[in-house]
Amino acid sequence: MGKKALIIGIDGVPFGLITQMMEQGYMKGLRGICDEGYSVHKMRASYPDISSVSWTSFMTGANPAEHGIFGFTDLKPNSYDLYFPNSRDIKAPTFWQTLHEQGKANRALILNIPNTYPAFPIDGLLVSGFVAIDFTKAVYPPSYIAPLQSMNYIIDVDLMKVRDDKDGFYQDLVESLAIREKISKKLINDEEWDMAAICVTETDRLHHFFYDKKDTVVFQDFYKRVDDFIANTYRAFEKKYGKDFLFLILSDHGFTEQITEVNLNACLKEKGFLTTNESREYYDKIDTGTMAFAMDPGRIYIHHEKKFPRGHVKPSEVGQVKDRLKEMLLNLADGKGTKVIKEILDKETIYKGPYYESAPDLICISNDGYDLKGNLRKKEIFSTDIFKGMHTGDDATLIVPQGITFDRQATIEDPAKIIIDYFS
């Protein structure tokens, strides 16, 4: 029997919260596992810190300028045409593809990792995670479709339900997690895998809508269930393959309580950086005279002359536009005078790779509680909706064997390297 690896993903679980849960006794199973030789690290997520980008960085061990995914939404080159990047748009190989090609590892179970839709060929089984629309396109190979269906597999809960029926929604999360656990265990027991990477996304959903309850039984109860998931899956894997396997747990970003939404485009419009033609649709609204626009969650694109049909900012002008933007945004404050933006990063400091040109020019990092939005719908700069939590980028979680250390902060690109190293 060759080398084996088990990776568990817990979407949106912040370092601080999981260590707290372990210390306070709500995650006894995980605590016990860690005592056997694992340490917990704070990990830097991708830029921007949303699931599709971060999990792709995890899968490929590369930064967005290498794998090509910069958000849930993007614009087609030289146009304002909106599209939704999916698995077909990932430009770098995943760790399991690399290992397979090198002959170092074969059958992989990849379950529910975001941005793996549509399901693509694999030696093993791939079940797509969010955003997946058609179940029959979310499973490779298709022979698993019927069995998964018969076990009532759910890719994602009904997100609209939470607006009318919070209790029902919570129950859905509990059920979905239970089904995922059941199916994971069955797959581990019934079939042979060299590696299994299984992701829980219910945590992210819980956090989005209930983060104000993080110190209550609502969370404690749910984290106990997550703990069961982790412990049971770990033990099932251990039972089958013995103690000697690589084990990792990671999240793709952290979370914090949301104070308000900050609609960047509304702000850019007010301050004269963006003009729109409301008779057109989506990002086609961007009109001549625009200097910059935003996309979710904190991406800023300069309206370059050569890059956009109605763009006019010349290369010589870019520096100036950026300076003005930074000055304006760093001074943006809410009604109470608290600054919204913590820092603004230039693309050259964070992106490197063949798709550098497609990258956003600036990434805004907000202060905790200020949820940056890139929509073109909302007209007010500050708004609220039903969401109680928002993503954070510097406190994702990474749990690795004690022998693995980092001389700078761990990043979301590290786990893939660890896995590849292990099998090599």
Measured from the CB atom, is 93 or 369 closer to another protein? Answer: 369
Q: How far is the CB of 105 from another protein (least distance, A)?
A: 26
3-state secondary structure of 266: helix
Measured from the CB atom, is 390 or 400 closer to another protein? Answer: 390
CA 197 to chain centre: 15
- Determine if 415 is a binding residue for another protein (CB under 8 A): no
Measured from the CB atom, is 234 or 293 closer to another protein? Answer: 293
- Determine if 285 is a binding residue for another protein (CB under 8 A): no
Measured from the CB atom, is 134 or 190 closer to another protein? Answer: 134
Measured from the CB atom, is 145 or 197 closer to another protein? Answer: 145
Whether the CB-CB separation of 30 and 225 falls below 8 Å is answered with no
Phi, psi (degrees; rounded to nearest 5) at 82: -75, 135
Using CB under 8 A as the binding rule, the residues of this chain from 31 to 70 that contact another protein are 50
* Stretch of 3-11, 141-149, 177-185, 321-329 lying at the interface with another protein (CB under 8 A): 141-149
Using CB under 8 A as the binding rule, the residues of this chain from 96 to 135 that contact another protein are 130-135
- The total number of residues shown for the chain amounts to 424
Please give the Cα distance from 33 to 39 (Å, whole number): 10
Please give the Cα distance from 144 to 197 (Å, whole number): 17
- Determine if 151 is a binding residue for another protein (CB under 8 A): no
CB atoms within 10 A of CB 37: 12
Q: Is 142 exposed, middle or buried (0-12, 13-18, 19+ CB in 10 A)?
A: exposed
Which tokens go with 40? 């917990």
Whether the CB-CB separation of 408 and 87 falls below 8 Å is answered with no
Whether the CB-CB separation of 258 and 387 falls below 8 Å is answered with yes
* Stretch of 56-64, 149-157, 169-177, 360-368 lying at the interface with another protein (CB under 8 A): 149-157
- Binding mask 327-366 toward another protein (x if CB under 8 A, else -) reads ----------------------------------------
CA-nearest of 290, 272, 216 to 24 is 216
- Binding mask 63-102 toward another protein (x if CB under 8 A, else -) reads ---------xx---------xx------------------
- Determine if 156 is a binding residue for another protein (CB under 8 A): yes
Q: Contact with another protein (CB under 8 A): which of 100, 208, 225, 347?
A: 208
In angstroms, what is the C-alpha Rg of the chain?
A: 22
- Determine if 217 is a binding residue for another protein (CB under 8 A): no
Q: Which residue has the tokens 């997520």?
A: 45
Which tokens go with 117? 């839709």
Count interface residues toward another protein (CB under 8 A).
32
The residues that touch another protein, with contacts defined as CB under 8 A, are 50, 72-73, 83-84, 130-136, 138, 142-143, 145-146, 149, 155-156, 159-160, 208, 261, 296-297, 371, 373, 375, 377, 385, 387
